[in-house]
Amino acid sequence: MEDVSQHIFDEEYFLQALNMIMPFGKYKGQRLIDLPEEYLIWFERKGFPPGKLGEYMQCVYAMQVNGLENLQKLRSVSRRQKSAPES
């Protein structure tokens, strides 16, 4: 599996990883960032799926176990502040 750490500062990759929808299983239809940490830990132990899904799940797993899942919220707040008209 590809080392996803090289994508940590790639905003497009980051957003795709966060917003990808789980296509199967118990959490089918949920965004990867919304998956429970325990579910991602299970995949980490058993093996992530191949392809982009597995890469994105690995990225989200790394964010969650390192307490970085709030980066998504920080980015959206930052974007709103940048786009707000100056007074």
Q: What is the rounded CA–CA span in Å between residue 37 and residue 2?
A: 21
Structural domain boundaries of the chain? 4-83
- The full 3-state SS of 4-56, as one line of letters, equals HHHHCCCHHHHHHHHHCECCCCCCCCCEHHHCCHHHHHHHHHHCCCCHHHHHH
Residues 6 or more apart whose Cβ sits within 8 Å of residue 55: 1, 2, 4, 17, 48
pLDDT tens, per residue, the chain with 87 residues: 455 555 556 778 888 888 899 999 999 999 998 899 999 999 999 999 999 999 999 988 988 887 766 665 544 433 444 454 554
Give residue 12's pLDDT: 84
